[in-house]
Chain A
Amino acid sequence: MVYQLPPWAALAPTLLFVAVALVLFVIDSINPDTENRLLLAATATAGSLAAAGVSVWYLLAGTGEAPIRLFQNTLVVDTMSLFFAFVFASVTALVVVASYDYMRDHSYQAEYYALVALAASGMTLMPAANSLAVVFISLELSSLPSYALVAILKRNRGSVEAGLKYFLIGALSSSILAYGISLVYAVSGSLLLPQVAEAASVEGLTGVLGIGVLMVLGGFAFKTASVPFHFWAPEAYEGAPAPVSAFLSSASKAAGFAVAFRVFTVAFPVETYVQTAAASIDWVLAVQILAVVTMTLGNFAAATQDTVKRMLAYSSVGHAGYALIGLAALTGGNDQFVLGASMAHLLVYGFMNTGAFLFIALAEYWSVGRTFEDYNGLATRAPFACAAMTVFMFSLAGLPPFGGFASKYLLFAGAVGAGFWWLAAVGAINSALSLYYYSRVVKAMWIEEPSSEFAIESKPVGLYAAIAAAAVATVLLLPGFAPVWEYAQSAAAALVA
């Protein structure tokens, strides 16, 4: 007889991250002044890879096909939560590997890796949350370590300032979210998402429920760095250590989307909330507004930046706008395609955006400088890394033959298929604009003459390995897009079908 794992084992990705964090604590408490960076990084890497491996294993084994409900249905493990767990775990692995070199001279090594692992455990919990209480807690579990991570360079004014701003905006947003949840609870009388869905039929309290829904949306908009809750993002991404920026802009953002996808499709389904006349809470329209504003503002602001890291920060705001299409193009029927496209985009984005920020980490490691001009002629000294960065830039812009092309194409195709051609049109125009600033980086690296000598002393193994892995994934995701698409579709089917 085949041995059947106990149901709680379905949470293995989360549990692995928690375990990693605890092991790191143990190591740190035994030897607080450890100089053994390799041990710490290896522990974190092993844990992340194990989490990613378990997610893939579960996906392949079909664990989530029949949703596993735990703790009185407050947590649910299905294809969608496993799909996102894989995204977070792989991004975490890349970030941790890159941090080995990046954090070489910094103190609080063990704390750093432990915080990353804790944030990751919160993120992997977010897509599985099936109760508004768990939603809030898991969101905070991923946010609180993030504040500390942004500010981890304690002697760097930028880092500390960014951390503080991030925390303040985060606190405000969390309060909005908590208030929203309380209003929703007031009407529905339940925190479980499937039961919240029934609140739409409550007469006379539409306004209260509507305000609650939109405030919940605001809370998620903070996590996904969508306009107007994005203000923290450019500052935090710029001030934070580059691997942390990568972590926040890829994994944390995806986690925000994951939880938003589940809450809005399960708790506030389009059929009852938007289309039924008795309680017209048109959150789809609100998301459409957010999507358009986010895409446009993110891309326009990115086009005028002088520093590469800040450009990437705004571009990641813009990408939040694209991913929002997954929610903004929901119609109540045939939503699987566009929702799945959005999830697939988040997966591809996880690799290409992480890779791009890790390249920034590499540039910071070499003290190359921050502006576009500082990158002039970098390809003459570091052709491999620059080639990888070119892959990331073109993939972010959505050009073939990279993964970003397929996911963005299908996302826009999904929007058109759902009847929201104008969303796709705005997205396409913004993509065209984004090509401008992405290619600025490529031009600087490959075409411009170096303005000064680069003091490149070494080629850090960890950073290079992480960048190479991200680049390979970005390239292979186009030919290998079929399985990603298949799993993204079944993940979306877990929510809307």
Chain B
Amino acid sequence: MAALSFELAPVIAALPFVSFLIALLAGAFAPRLLPKGGAIPGIAATAGSLLLSAWAALAVWNSSEGVYHESITWVAGVGDAAFDLHFGILLDPLSTMMLVIVSLVAVLVHVFSLGYMNDEGETGLPRYYAGLGLFTASMLSFVFASNLLMAFMFFELVGLCSWLLIGFHFREPGPPSAAKKAFLVTRFGDYFFLVGVVGVFATFGTTAFAGSESFPHLAEQVLAGEASATTFLGLDPQAWFAVLGLLVLGGVVGKSAQYPLHTWLPDAMEGPTPVSALIHAATMVAAGVYLVARMYGFYALLPQVLAFIAFVGGFTALFAASMGVVKKELKQVLAYSTISQYGYMMLGLGAGGYVAATFHLMTHAFFKALLFLGAGSVIIAMHHNENMWDMGGLKEKMPVTYYAFLSGSLALAGIVPFSGFWSKDEVLYEALVHGLDSPLLLGAYAMGLLAVFFTGFYTFRMVALTFHGDPRTDTARDPHGVGWNVKLPLVVLGTLAAVAGLVNMVPVAELTGAHLEFLHDWLDAGPEALTAHHYGDLLPYSSGTIGTELTTVLLSAGVSLGLALAGAGLAWKLYAVADPDEHTDKLGSAKTVLFNNYYQDEYQVWIATGLTLPLARAADKFDQGVIDGVVNGVSSVSLLSGSRVKRIQSGVVTNYAFLLTASLVVLLVAIGLIGGWF
């Protein structure tokens, strides 16, 4: 049984790919035959993936090694120093958990799309569902990839699909430009990733994630002095591995929208809302963080890189949360909250909280998918008006959406006992205990902690403005109803957002001594080299405590809960009134800065136009003038000398005889002189 479920693993990704092909081909040649524009094949395929993923997860749990690792060689190396390129599947607790999350969110997004796209009479549905199918297939393949190169290939496909889907409404001006931006900005990061992949190949001769021949394992041995590896730039192994880690991290920063490559994500809201849910909860953005978790055995060896990850994460969490405070549009708030939450995950990973970050990745997938789908439901109701100041009082009109959205919001804000509380608290706890000895980490922790307040504030500002108070427009007074296909995903996700945190209740476990850390056990179930326990041994951190361990846990949980409640309470007081004011106006010029996203876009555009463009012009001038000049010169010289050569061929046979004899004599004399015949 277990073997079969593993054998079927490729089907997990193949099913959505088939639905992509069906939507693409049937959409092009027989659109009438395609039920619901491709939604039905998509739902069937992703549901199949979900079942198979769950089965694979069960099999991983039941198998003795806790892992399934198979690969095929698709390019065999030739020669001595060569290496093979592989496609492979690595199923371990981490990847199967992620497979379940991705396929679950994908199913729900497909179902929701029935309400958001089909019922709203959108055109181009086959294209939409084809994109969703390919997107899901790429992400699933990325998740079970057994090596870095394969991961990179599907990472890129994920990027391509996000471009296709964000730009779905390509006839409007906004979406194509947003799609282009998402593509280019993430590409900028992926460029470093690609260099990193090549570097890993050159250093270790393999990019496998797991096994005795995997690069994290080799790196561990090299640093322990048990093996040697090729390093470049004259760096010692530790420094060179850090360079490799940072290069790969470039792709992560781009995809997971970390500062300073986060600018594409808010613009990506131009895509259809279900796509935003998919991108932000389970696929594109999650890919970056997942990659770090996947090769955590490598990063755990590199203290500088870890500190960097943690600091970038903490900074991004605070930075994005502060911008979320002033946004007017529902999806914009959610976009900044996504950036901020992925910042937490990076903080967790950097602080050595592998389980904590993975936990947050999971809970975030549920509550953020929920919030986006809830926002989609509101947007349907509001006839595609996304401005929160035009809403208000929707609570009575759409109770299912309201309660589901509230569940997600409580999770996002980190209010006990919703899922986000447990995971975010664990991230912050890890940062705190490891940060007591490391000022840098403590700074990251402080930023993360401060961001909790902002998170609570913007979340409940959003809830209050959307659902509470009096309706501020006619649309809000008479919203459009939503169907079962919208409500069902909301109910499922609303439940999960509320209870998913119960799988790893660390504070409760500490308090009662009961064994409640199920996720931790799950992530420890795999092969030794991929377990949280092993990563814990590798990590360079020492833990400090404030008082006893129990007081530290409770203090950390208490402080973050208190801040979340304070932020939420302040927002509630200010905005959950019949007729709220724009209180953020009181921030004065600070609001302008926040509203303009700290002018991040402006400075990046300036870098592009003020720095890159002149540089490109100069390069072009060099290319046109020098390179082309040389090439043109060579060709004109060739033609000229060619015509000279032509003149030798005079047509007079006596000339030929003379030239022939003379050349032979010259050759004879030359060779004779060199050879010393005379």
Tally of contact residues, B, Cβ under 8 A: 28
Q: Which residue from B635, B649, B672 sits with its C-beta under 8 Å from A211?
A: B672
Contact of A46 with B by CB under 8 A: no
Interface string of B665-678 (1 = CB under 8 A from A): 00110111011111
Q: Which residue from B646, B657, B674, B675 sits with its C-beta under 8 Å from A301?
A: B646
Contact of A214 with B by CB under 8 A: yes
Do A304 and B667 have beta carbons less than 8 Å apart?
no
Q: Beyond A215-B664, A218-B664, A235-B651, is A228–B642 a contact (Cβ under 8 Å)?
A: no
Do A300 and B638 have beta carbons less than 8 Å apart?
yes
Cα(A286)–Cα(B667), bound, Å: 7
Q: Beyond A300-B642, A303-B638, is A231–B667 a contact (Cβ under 8 Å)?
A: no
Q: Beyond A169-B653, A301-B646, is A281–B675 a contact (Cβ under 8 Å)?
A: yes
* Residues of chain B within 8 A of A300, CB atoms compared: 638, 641-642, 645
Contact of A206 with B by CB under 8 A: yes
* Residues of chain B within 8 A of A211, CB atoms compared: 668, 672, 677
Cα(A343)–Cα(B592), bound, Å: 77
Contact of B170 with A by CB under 8 A: no
Give chain B interface residues in 640-664, CB to chain A under 8 Å. Answer: 641-643, 645-646, 649, 651, 653, 656-657, 659-661, 663-664
Do B639 and A228 have beta carbons less than 8 Å apart?
no
Do A228 and B659 have beta carbons less than 8 Å apart?
yes
Cα(A176)–Cα(B661), bound, Å: 9
Residue of B nearest to A306 (CB): B646
Give chain A interface residues in 223-251, CB to chain B under 8 Å. Answer: 227-229, 231-232, 234-235
Contact of A165 with B by CB under 8 A: yes
Contact of A433 with B by CB under 8 A: yes
Do B663 and A210 have beta carbons less than 8 Å apart?
no
Cα(A285)–Cα(B670), bound, Å: 10
Cα(A237)–Cα(B639), bound, Å: 22
Interface string of A266-298 (1 = CB under 8 A from B): 000000000000001111011001100000010
Do B671 and A172 have beta carbons less than 8 Å apart?
no
Contact of A8 with B by CB under 8 A: no
Residue of B nearest to A231 (CB): B656
* Residues of chain B within 8 A of A207, CB atoms compared: 672, 677-678
Cα(A433)–Cα(B641), bound, Å: 13
Do B660 and A172 have beta carbons less than 8 Å apart?
yes
Q: Which residue from A169, A210, A301, A302 sits with its C-beta under 8 Å from B656?
A: A169
Do A304 and B663 have beta carbons less than 8 Å apart?
no
* Residues of chain A within 8 A of B653, CB atoms compared: 164-165, 168-169, 231
Cα(A425)–Cα(B267), bound, Å: 51
Q: Beyond A168-B657, A300-B642, A303-B638, is A210–B649 a contact (Cβ under 8 Å)?
A: no
* Residues of chain B within 8 A of A210, CB atoms compared: 668, 671-672, 675, 677
Cα(A229)–Cα(B668), bound, Å: 14
Q: Beyond A303-B638, A304-B646, is A282–B674 a contact (Cβ under 8 Å)?
A: yes
Contact of A436 with B by CB under 8 A: yes
Residue of B nearest to A298 (CB): B645
Residue of A nearest to B668 (CB): A214
Q: Which residue from A172, A285, A297 sits with its C-beta under 8 Å from B657?
A: A172
Do A301 and B667 have beta carbons less than 8 Å apart?
no
* Residues of chain B within 8 A of A168, CB atoms compared: 653, 657
Q: Which residue from B638, B657, B671 sits with its C-beta under 8 Å from A214?
A: B671
Interface range for A: 35 or more
Do A285 and B671 have beta carbons less than 8 Å apart?
yes
Do B651 and A282 have beta carbons less than 8 Å apart?
no
Do A231 and B660 have beta carbons less than 8 Å apart?
yes
Cα(A231)–Cα(B652), bound, Å: 10
- Shortest Cβ distance from A56 into chain B, in angstroms? 30
* Residues of chain A within 8 A of B659, CB atoms compared: 228, 231
Interface string of A362-386 (1 = CB under 8 A from B): 0000000000000000000000000
Cα(A172)–Cα(B643), bound, Å: 27
* Residues of chain B within 8 A of A215, CB atoms compared: 664, 668
- Shortest Cβ distance from A457 into chain B, in angstroms? 34
Cα(A169)–Cα(B658), bound, Å: 10
Cα(A229)–Cα(B656), bound, Å: 9
Cα(A239)–Cα(B75), bound, Å: 51
- Shortest Cβ distance from A485 into chain B, in angstroms? 15
Q: Beyond A283-B671, A289-B667, is A228–B646 a contact (Cβ under 8 Å)?
A: no
Do B677 and A206 have beta carbons less than 8 Å apart?
yes
Give chain A interface residues in 111-125, CB to chain B under 8 Å. Answer: none
Residue of B nearest to A164 (CB): B653
Considering residues A228, A281, A282, A436, which has the most beta carbons from chain B within 10 angstroms of its beta carbon?
A228
Give chain B interface residues in 615-639, CB to chain A under 8 Å. Answer: 635, 638-639
Do B645 and A301 have beta carbons less than 8 Å apart?
yes
Considering residues B659, B667, B676, which has the most beta carbons from chain A within 10 angstroms of its beta carbon?
B667
Q: Which residue from A228, A302, A436 sits with its C-beta under 8 Å from B664?
A: A228
Cα(A207)–Cα(B661), bound, Å: 18
Cα(A63)–Cα(B556), bound, Å: 88
Give chain B interface residues in 79-121, CB to chain A under 8 Å. Answer: none
* Residues of chain A within 8 A of B671, CB atoms compared: 210, 214, 281-283, 285-286
* Residues of chain A within 8 A of B675, CB atoms compared: 206, 210, 280-282
Cα(A215)–Cα(B670), bound, Å: 14
* Residues of chain B within 8 A of A164, CB atoms compared: 653
Do B664 and A214 have beta carbons less than 8 Å apart?
yes
Q: Which residue from A206, A214, A297, A303 sits with its C-beta under 8 Å from B667?
A: A214
* Residues of chain B within 8 A of A285, CB atoms compared: 671, 674
Cα(A56)–Cα(B668), bound, Å: 40
Cα(A262)–Cα(B671), bound, Å: 22
Cα(A282)–Cα(B671), bound, Å: 7
Cα(A436)–Cα(B635), bound, Å: 10
Do A301 and B649 have beta carbons less than 8 Å apart?
yes
Interface string of A130-168 (1 = CB under 8 A from B): 000000000000000000000000000000000011001
Cα(A433)–Cα(B635), bound, Å: 8
Residue of A nearest to B644 (CB): A300
* Residues of chain B within 8 A of A280, CB atoms compared: 674-676
Cα(A165)–Cα(B651), bound, Å: 9
* Residues of chain B within 8 A of A305, CB atoms compared: 646
Residue of A nearest to B659 (CB): A228
Give chain A interface residues in 149-208, CB to chain B under 8 Å. Answer: 164-165, 168-169, 172-173, 176, 206-207
Cα(A235)–Cα(B663), bound, Å: 19
Considering residues B638, B670, B678, which has the most beta carbons from chain A within 10 angstroms of its beta carbon?
B638
Cα(A471)–Cα(B653), bound, Å: 36
* Residues of chain A within 8 A of B643, CB atoms compared: 304
Do A297 and B672 have beta carbons less than 8 Å apart?
no
29 A-B pairs (CB sep. < 8 Å): A165-B653, A165-B656, A168-B657, A172-B657, A172-B660, A172-B661, A173-B660, A210-B668, A210-B671, A210-B677, A215-B664, A228-B663, A229-B660, A231-B660, A234-B649, A281-B675, A281-B677, A282-B674, A282-B675, A290-B667, A297-B645, A300-B642, A301-B645, A301-B646, A301-B649, A304-B639, A304-B642, A304-B643, A433-B638
15 new A-B pairs (CB below 8 Å) besides A214-B668, A235-B651, A302-B642? A164-B653, A168-B657, A169-B653, A169-B660, A176-B664, A210-B677, A281-B677, A282-B674, A282-B675, A286-B667, A289-B667, A301-B642, A304-B643, A304-B646, A433-B638
Q: Which 8 A-B pairs have the closest CB atoms?
A: A228-B663, A207-B677, A304-B642, A231-B656, A300-B642, A280-B675, A301-B645, A303-B642
Interface residues, chain B, with chain A CB atoms under 8 Å away = 635, 638-639, 641-643, 645-646, 649, 651, 653, 656-657, 659-661, 663-664, 667-668, 670-672, 674-678
